[in-house]
Chains A and B, each alone.
Chain A
């Protein structure tokens, strides 16, 4: 841990907490402009169908309706989400509104009217004749030869590509020779694991507001994790110069990755606003939110070869993702899983092959972990099973093989490379084991029909999308700082804050660097006009890259601050330090001047104004590590599982806000337990989503969260992170579900390889075992 820190490393209330606690902070949902129109989307009732005829004339004539758009009114060239990497590699398979529907709920038309009721009536008046086409829902079916084709072709780099067997994308990575490795192994393990489709469930429903300005520009507010990405995509799609759109950063009521990309509704809303010359708000109903985003479901085949003493020799992973009707982030998640499978354990031989398969289901998108929870479920379940078969303690097996200091790890693709510096995995494993009583776990009491078990899993995530070689993924950031005449500091950053406390942490970093309190930092309103580019607030990179940029900008401002303070104090800048809003001569505490005075003197004497800027490109992704130790109670008569105790340990380097880190671990725990036991967006035989409300989509309430939750942080420091910090957002979730399922295995002797592990499945497993 860093020494001598005043603000970083302290628990501070979030800068926007009062606004949230009083209901005065406005979210996009709370925007009501004069003359604002509302918009609603007409959605396909069929999983695969061509629009033979669409007639919106009656709807357009309805009193209160201002605009109706169909596929004929939108750009005809297919587009892709290409702001994150080289546009030449983007899969272009979608339009703002479609002529061919590829999932139940696909976007056929959109209406803008004075109120929601009029929108609803207008939708019912749009006359559509569909030609139903054969559909596929499971990857197994989609991969068969002769299966219906979800897309006849997509466009990439200007060329038409025909996906064979509905495979949209493939990523492979090989090191050594896995088959040779298997022949050298003394014990081979094989397993197949299947993960499900939980929904992100942000509390604020997806929404976008667009307002045309008198000068012809368009202002946009949206639940989106990247103002720059949003502007880029809308402008590209609609053929507008970037200067025409101003995307505003606004606090978001939860995201969990579902907003890292520009959605379908955002360009629709922009088009409507431009056409009607009126503000337009397009908000999804909760049912629509359930069908607009979810986790990529995966089938993971694992083959591992070990020596009898538990040394891992060879690892082979084959992963198939169901990417739904369009590629939103399918190619990215397939690529990213290279790193999630590679970086857990060392072995001389490794191979990964991943593929994304189209089906006629609503397209999933990014969700906290982005393939890592899926990979973790397969790998950490496998390790548990191997430990049992080899007669090795599960923790010792991890300790023997984990990738550690000095090892090469990969993140979001084979090109994203990093050598581990800070790594406290051993500390985490040993301490977690001690706290939960791992050594005595087999003696855990079982009372009658209730069986108890203790399980664990370890995990990690990257803190950026950069490595020591070009990664091919947009990952830079920047910030502006100015120091004001009253010792306050203004900070301009494009980063999003969906609740994780990003902006507060950045304020702490700026405050620490400039020797002021966190209350002295004003995080300015930001938009694409005034804020330097930052790629996206995702990938757990907010503090490591976003904070890195802020620290650099603050240090830039610090230069002139110390220069001019030196003039006043007659000292050299190297002999000065900042603390409590003052500049001190080191070792002579009586010689000081307030920051306010320095700023004022600089102004009066025309020395200049104290500003700082930065452009930051990380050259590594500093993995953050976690362990989860979980204790469950299984009711052997009903199959119900209760998590009664959870120990969450993390190595985040130097935490910027320990309370914030704790909050992330708590939230990830609840989401992970839900992933393990109950959450899953489900479909019927016609591709309809069957659970689109909270009655039927089950997640944890305050009554289900474990009674005993403990968090501990490893003393750690990452050289490359701002004040030694790394990320936490995604490692907070990645290994939770696996730990729960490992605990169930310990309690019942039954190994579950498919999520979610419902009570019914547990009861069935117990009966089959008996």
Chain B
């Protein structure tokens, strides 16, 4: 990332660069509140962690981490870096919103925690203030019978998403008690976008193919997709139906398996 920014002239005002990779922020922990992942944890380390693989509820994270290719990038890219990039087309941002992640920031003025959803403000823009850095990503412990999934459509296997979507579903007595549908790459506005109407329509419904299909339809209809070099908005809208349907089906299947 550093050199991407440098080559676009985005580092011209920078005089000092501090390497934070040795601050001991590479860890994956779990406590009663949920997962706590240090900002300097690489994708490879996160993927291999027992904790992220411990519940199907965290499936979106595992999916997103392994969807980032190639392995040379996974070995070096960090969760903190991906979230602070302000690039929703990366795979981690929508997945983090789907699992309701919070981020812990620290700076000269103290510490604060935000919902990750409120952290993304625009293209290359986040809520990070001057003098702050991201310390930890926290995934609150989801209730039992929660499943989440992430997938993306790409042209070849080392691509940024033409379209990506992360979903999560919580089942209570096999009915949907909570759902999230989050688009990442391929939407207008350069922030992860939730299809809230589609989410709300699922609540209290049984997790059937029909309900999933209608939610996918609604999500596709109510989201504004981007028109760019990679694809047209129209194509993305059509494929969104397919991706959301598959993602929700995955989340529901995982929710049924998730013991809490």
Q: Which of B69, B155, B229 contacts A759 (CB 8 A)?
A: B155
Would you list which residues of chain B between 145 and 169 have a CB under 8 Å from chain A? Answer: 153, 155-160
Q: Is B20's CB within 8 Å of the partner chain A?
A: no
A residues less than 8 Å from B239 (CB atoms): 637-638, 763
Asked, given contacts A682-B229, A760-B231, A760-B232, whether A701 binds B158 with beta carbons under 8 Å apart, the answer is yes
Chain B nearest Cβ from A658, distance in angstroms: 30
Identify which of A600-608, A647-655, A689-697 touches chain B.
Answer: A689-697
What would 8 more interface pairs be, CB under 8 Å, given A698-B155, A703-B156, A759-B235?
A637-B239, A637-B242, A638-B242, A640-B153, A703-B69, A704-B156, A763-B238, A763-B239
Asked, given contacts A700-B156, A703-B156, whether A691 binds B235 with beta carbons under 8 Å apart, the answer is no
* Bound-complex Cα distance A638 to B240 (A): 9
A696 x B235 contact (CB < 8 A): no
Question: Per-residue CB proximity of A438-465 to B under 8 Å, as 1/0?
Answer: 0000000000000000000000000000
Q: Is A68's CB within 8 Å of the partner chain B?
A: no
Asked, given contacts A760-B231, A760-B232, whether A638 binds B153 with beta carbons under 8 Å apart, the answer is yes
A residues less than 8 Å from B153 (CB atoms): 638, 640, 759
A residues less than 8 Å from B158 (CB atoms): 694, 701
A-B contact count (CB 8 A): 41
B157 x A701 contact (CB < 8 A): yes
Question: Per-residue CB proximity of A158-192 to B under 8 Å, as 1/0?
Answer: 00000000000000000000000000000000000
B residues less than 8 Å from A696 (CB atoms): 229
* Bound-complex Cα distance A639 to B155 (A): 11
A698 x B156 contact (CB < 8 A): yes
A760 x B235 contact (CB < 8 A): yes
A704 x B157 contact (CB < 8 A): yes
**Chain A residues near B (Cβ < 8 Å):** 637-640, 678, 682, 690-691, 694-696, 698-701, 703-704, 758-760, 763-764
B155 x A695 contact (CB < 8 A): no
Chain A nearest Cβ from B187, distance in angstroms: 17
B residues less than 8 Å from A758 (CB atoms): 155
A residues less than 8 Å from B235 (CB atoms): 639, 759-760, 763-764
**Chain B residues near A (Cβ < 8 Å):** 69-70, 153, 155-160, 229, 231-232, 235, 238-239, 242
**Majority DSSP secondary structure for residues of B touching A:** loop
Most chain B CB atoms below 10 A, which of A637, A639, A699, A758: A637
Chain A nearest Cβ from B199, distance in angstroms: 23
Shortest 5 CB-CB contacts between residues of A and residues of B:
A703-B157, A760-B235, A637-B242, A698-B155, A698-B156
* Bound-complex Cα distance A208 to B155 (A): 34
B residues less than 8 Å from A700 (CB atoms): 156
* Bound-complex Cα distance A637 to B241 (A): 9
A residues less than 8 Å from B238 (CB atoms): 763
* Bound-complex Cα distance A640 to B153 (A): 9
Task: List 9 contacting pairs A-B, 8 Å CB cutoff, sorted by A.
Answer: A638-B153, A640-B153, A694-B158, A695-B160, A696-B229, A699-B156, A701-B156, A758-B155, A759-B155
* Bound-complex Cα distance A701 to B239 (A): 23
A residues less than 8 Å from B229 (CB atoms): 682, 690-691, 696
* Bound-complex Cα distance A691 to B155 (A): 14
Of chain A, the residue at the smallest CB distance from B162 is A759
A residues less than 8 Å from B69 (CB atoms): 703
* Bound-complex Cα distance A712 to B155 (A): 30
Of chain A, the residue at the smallest CB distance from B238 is A763
Chain A nearest Cβ from B173, distance in angstroms: 32
B residues less than 8 Å from A703 (CB atoms): 69, 156-157
* Bound-complex Cα distance A398 to B69 (A): 43
Most chain A CB atoms below 10 A, which of B69, B229, B231, B239: B239
* Bound-complex Cα distance A615 to B232 (A): 58
B157 x A698 contact (CB < 8 A): no
Of chain B, the residue at the smallest CB distance from A698 is B155
Of chain B, the residue at the smallest CB distance from A287 is B7
* Bound-complex Cα distance A694 to B157 (A): 12
B residues less than 8 Å from A682 (CB atoms): 229
Chain A nearest Cβ from B52, distance in angstroms: 23
Q: Which of A678, A690, A763, A764 contacts B155 (CB 8 A)?
A: A678
Of chain A, the residue at the smallest CB distance from B160 is A695
A residues less than 8 Å from B160 (CB atoms): 695
B residues less than 8 Å from A678 (CB atoms): 155-156
Chain B nearest Cβ from A669, distance in angstroms: 15
* Bound-complex Cα distance A366 to B25 (A): 52
Chain B nearest Cβ from A699, distance in angstroms: 7
* Bound-complex Cα distance A700 to B238 (A): 25
* Bound-complex Cα distance A763 to B242 (A): 12
B residues less than 8 Å from A639 (CB atoms): 235
Chain B nearest Cβ from A120, distance in angstroms: 11
B residues less than 8 Å from A701 (CB atoms): 70, 156-158
Chain A nearest Cβ from B74, distance in angstroms: 14
B residues less than 8 Å from A698 (CB atoms): 155-156, 159
* Bound-complex Cα distance A703 to B153 (A): 15
Chain A nearest Cβ from B152, distance in angstroms: 11
* Bound-complex Cα distance A698 to B157 (A): 10
Chain A nearest Cβ from B116, distance in angstroms: 24
* Bound-complex Cα distance A639 to B239 (A): 9
Chain A nearest Cβ from B34, distance in angstroms: 34
A residues less than 8 Å from B156 (CB atoms): 678, 698-701, 703-704
